Structure 1
């Protein structure tokens, strides 16, 4: 199995930050109060997840009135490897005998391209 790189960490402002840890593709916050499997949220477009704390001190994905940011997770768009597939014997459904198809395989997420932006929790 390939080594999984560490996420990039950016401290947005000064002050105490939320406790977090990385375990493979999973980022956990505040002693597992919230855990995010980053690969679950990776798609064909880049995506940013907001990690916020509500008025009661509970962590959640997304924003809420009265809540505050503790972190953002920036996930890059998925990349693919395309492998040409040789055309079969005879014509395809369109009657084209020279058409070449391509098999697209999603590449593993490189966690070194994921950014974890931390905000002060004070």
Structure 2
């Protein structure tokens, strides 16, 4: 298996084998948490701004729970009713890999390399 080269490019083959996949919605959650630790309703509000529509609790919290189970997000209790969510190192790595993958494909298309 190839390691990252001297230019520190991301080794997708190596990392994709050990990091769980994330849906687009989960990737958006990771992006929100990359800025700072937030509680659930703050995440919901940021996602609503991004999507331009209401985000249902029944969509948000199961996705947060899955990200927690996959160790991409850490959940801590703020008080009896509120939890804080923070991106983990693996979550940041997953987000970075996804963003880099999309950027490489976008750049390839804009330089005439994509079909």
Question: TM-score, normalised on structure 1?
Answer: 0.21
| Bigger radius of gyration among the two | 1
Which structure dedicates a bigger proportion of its chain to strand? 1
Which structure dedicates a bigger proportion of its chain to helix? 2
Quick one: higher RCO (CA 8 Å, sep 6+), 1 or 2? 1
